Amino acid sequence: MDEQVTLMIYRGDNVQGEMKEYKIPVAPGMVVLDAVHAVQATQAPDLAVRWNCKAGKCGSCGAEVNGRPRLLCMDRMDKYPAGEPIAVKPLKTFPVIKDLATNVSWNYDVNKKIPAFKMRDTKGEEPRFSQEEADRVQEFRKCIECFLCQNVCHVLREHDEKNTFGGPRFFVRTAGLEMHPLDDENRLDLLKDQMGLGYCNITKCCTEVCPESIAITDNAIIPLKERLVDQYYDPLRKLYRILFPAKKT
């Protein structure tokens, strides 16, 4: 167990910072978060990093390891080539608060814009739906809000369209509500006008990084895009919409 590993960790804030080198002993089964904690406990007590569950369930510990977005608590050290330093940086798309902690408050603001679940009238009956119907939305409801998808989406990462674009996480969330068997709200205007669904050009980068393996593009974004087309560009539907404006498609 005398084997050492070298970590390069970003130390600093949004204005200035540098990659600092730390060496720590490795243990079997170690994940990158363990290594960062070892640095914290023995060499850099003020090193900022977020975590909670240490089991891939809370989505707190997202960062970029050797340039790839990862949950630090699920990222095994033995997957990286032995003897080479491992570089850990904060998510690029969000402003750094300190070290590995970024300011993700923008995501919470977007979430607030999405109209809440509205239960349809079940006429006093106990609501019923099948497991198959549940499965469809449970996929979206698995999201742990790690924001790794937000971090890689080029609309946010390269173009910083945070005022006009909601990002894959919130397409997933909206899909979970729109396809909910008991929901009676319509969020298509929101998707078109405020969440910029049209800006997504289906590169699938978001799906690739999702630690919950949610098929973000195929199961959430594309069906939502189809609904938008149906609602806004299908002439019959358009007429229907003018006649019955509040109804859900």
Partner 1 sequence: MGKYQTFQYDVVVVGAGGAGLRAAIEASAQGAKTALVCKSLLGKAHTVMAEGGVAAALSNVDSRDDWKVHFRDTMKGGKFLNQWRMAQIHAQEAPSRVRELEEWGAVFDRTKDGRILQRNFGGHTYPRLAHVGDRTGLEIIRTLQDKGVHQGIDVHMECTIRKILKDGDRVAGCFGYQRESGRFVVFQSKAVVLATGGIGRCWEITSNSWEYTADGHAMAMWAGADLIDMEFIQFHPTGMVWPPSVKGTLITEGVRGEGGVLLNKDRKRFMFDNVPEMFRGEFAETEEEANRWVAAVVANKLPDARRPPELLTRDVVARAIRREVREGRGSPHGGVFLDIASRRSPSEIKKKLPSMYHQFKELADVDITKDPMEVGPTCHYMMGGVRVNPETQESTVPGLFAAGEVGGGMHGSNRLGGNSLSDLLVFGKRAGEFAAKCALQTSSFGSCDDDQIEVAARECLEPFDESHGENPYAVHEQLRTLMQHYVGIVRSQDDLKHALVEIEQLRQRAAKVKVGGNIQFNPGWHLAMDLSNMLDISEAVTKAALERTESRGGHTREDFPDSESEWGKMNLIVRQEGRDINVSRRPLEPMPAELQQLFNK
Q: Which of residues 153-182 bind ligand SF4 (CB under 6 A)?
A: 153, 155, 168-169, 172
Q: Which of 12, 85, 87, 145 binds partner 1 (CB under 8 A)?
A: 145
Residue recorded with tokens 């809370």: 58
Q: Are 62 and 71 in contact (CB under 8 A)?
A: yes
| Nearest C-alpha neighbor of 170 from the set 143, 135, 205 | 143
Q: Is 61 in the site for ligand SF4 (CB under 6 A)?
A: no
From the list 193, 203, 229, 247, which residue makes contact with ligand SF4 (rule: CB under 6 A)? 203
Number of Cβ atoms within 10 Å of the Cβ of 23:
11
Give the Cα separation of 148 and 169 in Å (integer).
Answer: 9
**Binding residue count for ligand SF4, defined by CB under 6 A:** 28
Helices 222-233 and 235-243: angle between axes, nearest 10 degrees: 70
Q: Using CB distances below 5 to 8 A depending on partner kind, what does residue 204 bind out of ligand FES, ligand SF4, partner 1, none?
A: ligand SF4
- Give 133: exposed, middle or buried? Use CB within 10 Å, 0-12, 13-18, 19+: middle
125 is a contact residue toward partner 1 (CB under 8 A): no
Cβ at position 179, least distance to partner 1 in Å: 10
Rounded distance, CA 231 to CA 89, Å? 42
**Interface ranges with partner 1 (CB under 8 A):** 13, 27-31, 34, 40-42, 44-60, 74, 76, 97-99, 101, 104-105, 108, 111-112, 116-117, 119, 126-131, 133-134, 137-138, 141-142, 144-145, 177, 180, 182-183
Q: Given the rule CB under 6 A, which residues bind ligand SF4?
A: 59, 143-149, 153, 155, 168-169, 172, 200-206, 209-212, 214, 216-217, 221
